[in-house]
Structure 1
Amino acid sequence: MMSFRRYIVAAFALVALVPTSQIAFADSQPKPPERLTYERFAGPARQQTADKQKYDQHSVLVRFKSGLSATTKDRALSKRNLRNLGTVRGTSFVKVSTTGSATDLQRQLSQDPAVSRVTLDYQRQVTATPNDPAYYYGDQNYLKTVRVPQAWDRTKGSTSQVIAVVDTGVNGAQEDLKGRTVAGYNAITNTAIAAGASSDDEGHGSMVAGIASANTNNGLGVAGVAWTGRIMPVKALDSQGSGYDSDIARGVIWAADHGAKIINLSLGGPEDATVLHDAITYANGKGAVVVVAAGNEGDGTPQYPAAYPEVLAVGATDAAGNLTEFSSYGDWVDVAAPGFGIVSTGLGQDYYVGDGTSFSAPIVSGVAALVRSAYPTLTPAQVIGRLKVTARDAGPRGIDPYYGYGVLDAFAAVGGARTSDFTQRTGGTGEPNDVPARATALATSTTGTIAVEGDVDWYHFAPTGATPVTVRVAPARLDPSWPQNANPMLAVYDQDLQLLGQADAGSYGASEAVSLNLPAGTYYVKVSNRSGAADTRPYTVSVASSASGVTPPVGEQEWVRSAAPADFATGQPLATVPSVTFQRAVDASSVTTDTVRLLNGRTGAAVPATVTYNSDTRIGTLTPSAALPDNTPFRIVLSGLRDTGGANQAGQYTSTFSTVDTVPSAVSNFKVTGGTRAAALSWTLPSITDLDQVIVRAATGNTAPSGPTTGTAVYAGTGSSATITGLVSGANYTFAVWVRDRSGKVSPASVARLVGTTVAVSTTTAALNYGGSVTVYGKLVRPDTGAAIAGQPLQVYGRRKGTSTWTLLATPTSSGTGLVAFSTKPAYSTDYQWYYRGSAAYIGNTSAVRSVGVATTLSSTLSTTSMALGGTVHMYGTVTPSHAGQTVYLQRLVGNGVWQNMLSQTLTSTSGYSFAVKPSSRSTFYFRVYKPADADHAAGYSAIRNVRVY
């Protein structure tokens, strides 16, 4: 049954009678009848227990009572030695600080008669807050469980992310779905569905669509996860919520062919179907991520298509991240998300609230759309992988059949920082009665709890004489508002752990009992929960004499009597050597690394270990080849064994534990190499399985940052190298690097330093004629001490004046006095600059730019130095280097050092010139030729020539 009610207005339930040849909603599988009769109005959804909000540890905000004098207010503060930091602008609150605790100060001031109100100065974070009523008033607080609001701060998705809802259709005319649907397809009738049309005649698909991508921040109804995503309605289920494999497959293929990026399948059944599997494989090949509800059987029966390896199978939790009683489980479950008390769009203009993995899946589909917006190049397999590896561990540590990789973490999936895992609800030593060897004594009755998903509790009792007895387990009463009502299973064994009787009526909240005729001896009782959920409310197990009982036949014998460490144990030493004590005499030849395995609970990979078996003690031991990594879950798995009588192990036995969370080791090989006012850093990470961040900080001077929040941020990530640029010229820097694990433990710091440098530049001249020489000097020193730096390569670069390209000219090594020199004959005006690139000890730097002007050289010749009036004199020559096509001027000295242009001429192709002058009077005339400056040469002048005219 699917719990499916009108939100705020009324409640109703919908039962689908499904032929075995059909696939129905994941929610339509039978649930306990008691749940059918329960009518619940939608109220505020459960809120996840949040971390305590951060606040200023040494200040509070105070509002004094009105009408008080300034003296009275000051007295209230001064008598406690408080510092007044001033009024918070625009308010009546004053911020005051103390050297002590802010909470203590808050308590003291709240009792002061002069004070009207005192609060802590809380720290708050920016977050996207939709104005949709269901979100605003807390009815969608389950989205906070999977950190969707934080994910919205990084991405709100994209209209290009189309989520196909293959379901009963979608009410595209619903006020909160208007404009969100694209054209779709009715796979039952093989007809088109227009964008915005209502194609839903049942309501389930509309609810799924709204969860995934209802209009968000529109002031109406609910907030969809894929804030700006689009919905593609694909109707493959009928008005009863049922559909055939052929229709579903046709709908999946149509969606993939028409651009769906994510395909949501909130449907399923227990039978495998090749046609459905082929359709999903096809959709994967077209680039679609397929998200499937795990099912609501509340047991370990595989559900399809959830069990196909190509899909992301989603189990259901409550708003606190605890597995629900109805969520199907198995090794095929990948992640879990809230599926209890979920509100969404319905038929007409209604809003519904419902329970089921059908409503967990579209939350994940919406997050998949956010991931594809943030990382558009990811393949479907990579999107699924990202959603799995970023999930928060919950329940048994590591990958488990109930949560898969854990509870969805939307923020981490879109690139945000990871947060802590959900706490496992057992002590560090694990379950106290997880195996027969640790069974709890049962005199008449006692209580226990299903503390962790998959928990099994053992008890033992010993009648002193032959008598009929009834063994009973009574769970906590059925509470429809409680998401983890127990469905207990009871089994009774003899002293050799051979099954004598068992009871499993399959009713939530109902007792189970076994009545047996038993002789004197020791007997064992096993209590477990069919649904796999952890009902933390106590159950009662009892044994009492009864009027009659049956004489039990001896049944199947248990394989394991004890295991170490205990199931769900945490904080185990890294030197742990797991062992298993068998109840049966096991064939030693069947005990191999294939049948007795230690698996890494986080990756599923086998841990290299030696397996031994002692036939006398029946103990199998797994000795790891190396110390186990810290803060890592492990799983002991026994399967495929054979006993000495030839019987083969039918199922498998598993037990989990995790190692102690130690402080990470410091990074090794921390190297810092100076660049030009920059530095390149590298390091080797320690062996760590729960790396959260590598943090690198820097401080000017020779003292390292005192902690990972001081100094200047250089790097925060998971890599092994970083660069920093923009270092202050000439300053010393000290760098420190820490490793932080996911539990917040921080390694010791590794430290490295670099010394700042300065580079001076000078030249033997600032101006010369073409063909002349210049020497460019540099000097490398450390400014903190003024000491010269010897033995370092410096590069001298030249740049032709008027250009932007620098050319490496030479790389001399600094002398004992820090000096370098380079001599050259520049062909044109040149800028010079020294570069010191840095080293493992020093930060690189550059000198100032030094310019050297190079003037052109002009040769000049007069045809005569003396002539009669009326004659003509010729002045000719060349310009070096060649400046063919440029203009030169013949100048005459007119007195007092003033030269006057007389004639101009364009230089020939050989850079030559020739001027003819006919003086008009008798005198001595002085001439020169002038070549103006250009982009790369200074102005040039020829030698002065004179001629006497008589």
Structure 2
Amino acid sequence: MKRWVLLGLVGGLVACKKDKPVEPLACPGTEVQRLLPTAQAQKRKQALDDGTEPVLITYRPRVSGSAMANAESFAAGVKRMGGRVKHSFPELNAVAARVTPEVREALARDPDVAAVEPDRVVTALELPRLSPRALLGVVGQPNRTGSAGEYTDGLKMVQAPAVWDVNGDGVLDEGRPSGTGIKVCVIDSGWDPRHPELEAAVIAQKDFIDGDNEAYDQDKNDDGTVTWGGGHGTHTAGTIGAQLGAGGRVLPGGESNGVAGVAPTVSLMIARVLDTEGNGSTSDVIRAINWCTAQDADIASLSLGSPNESTLEKLAFEEAVQKGVLPIAATGNSGAAKVSFPAAYDVVIAVGAVNFNGEWANFSQYGAEVSLVAPGVNVLSSTIVGASPFAAVDAAGKPFASSPLEYSGIGKYSGKLINCGLGDSIASCGEEATCEGFVAYVDRGGGLFFEEKARHAMQAGAKAVIIGNNEAGDGAGTFTLTTNLYPWVPTTSVSLEDAGVIKGYFGQNVTVDVSGVDYVLQTGTSMATPHVAGVAALVWSSNPKLTNLQVREALEKSAKKLQGRVGLDPQYGWGLVQAADAISYAATKFPPAP
């Protein structure tokens, strides 16, 4: 079906010159569609647009009455003033609530109120991803057999396999520490319970976003379907406790067993405090660390943070440490000389990122608070099932290496290959383009964003898009589409060299296949933090009678110095965390009682 524009002027029709190009109309159904938030996300947003602000209110302790009774009294007082109470923290003499500016001013004047501070936003600390890449029931026993191919570069760098698979045969060595009996609470965006790497590891979960006991990284839609989040929590949980031999779908030619975690027999507890967009609140972080503590967690891993300090949050972490929890958090990804919170609190182990060469990652926030570093660049781990795309292009039986664009649609399409030039308009695909579908070839360049090129091709009727690179040696590229247009068709890129060959297939059938796998490379201090949490679990499982402070000392004192640094360094802290060395340090300094 062709699409043509009829041109006219008020007062009569104007004849068009035969040589004047006529811009075709967009194919039906290809108009720009903004992603609508899910029903759950809309409700959360509406709750924020009512003229109130989220605050944390700390009251002065009362001499009489129980902590719970006092908390109920404080909460009732806030409600009488017109505030909407979200949660009470009896142990902290505090309340989280939404209040108007007038109520906040009144609270600040109340002699019983010690402080009113913002319930600030916390966010996931990962960088945008640029690299191609059974529901919960009875908790099973962790696998002990897999393959050495599951041992990622990150695992090897922190000495994890050297602890529990000394001979490298892909089988956990009997009697060696691998995390058994240690509970790590992952305070993050939740998880995907369908992922085989995590099925046997998760023993408890709590959703502080939706207020239920299914801490899944998803939003429910009105039609009964779900929209999955970005997989941040699934990735960090996998780095800590992915199972041996429990592989999901992997890239062609990849290790069929997937990946292993740093502590593959650890017990994971999932506390969801980040929504599907990666945002959360201070009050939910406080609730989560309190829940982790009440559930007897040994370690808390937080790949999130805020640039600003919170007095109440600091107090919550101090109390958790006093009760035996070891909190570990990411320093942040802005590259600034300032560590994010909660990582910057003295009682929290602050983790920065290095690459696999042991070089400080220039996005990793730094300062005197940095304790340790761990691998945080292109870390391979689990993600939302089927959400990580890879691409294949085939022309007349000849395969071409390609990389899917970030946020590409998933699917397979075969059709006539049509030259769409620079993709600068709908008309760039020419008269061969039809709404019945075709594969669009588009050259990189022309000052256009890739989403513009793909959108024009889609509006011309393309059911798949190939973008050819214009720089030699740049491979297929690491290009991205944005998420504000939906749905994208399968969209992939090829190298300059392959683009020249593919152009010889114009007019012939070409197949573009963008499929989803269950693992992805991600970058950020978010990815470094779970490496340290996993190593802490290994150290603790080597001697369960260690205290949280003894485990911290073992991690820091045994760390590997990098780049010739001596002492505590603002970028590297004490150095690269080392599992085998930390266990040796703990065995020597804190030997088990006879």
Using the size of structure 1 for normalisation, the TM-score is 0.31
Using the size of structure 2 for normalisation, the TM-score is 0.48
Q: Which has the higher strand share?
A: 1
Q: Which has the higher helix share?
A: 2
* Bigger CA radius of gyration: 1
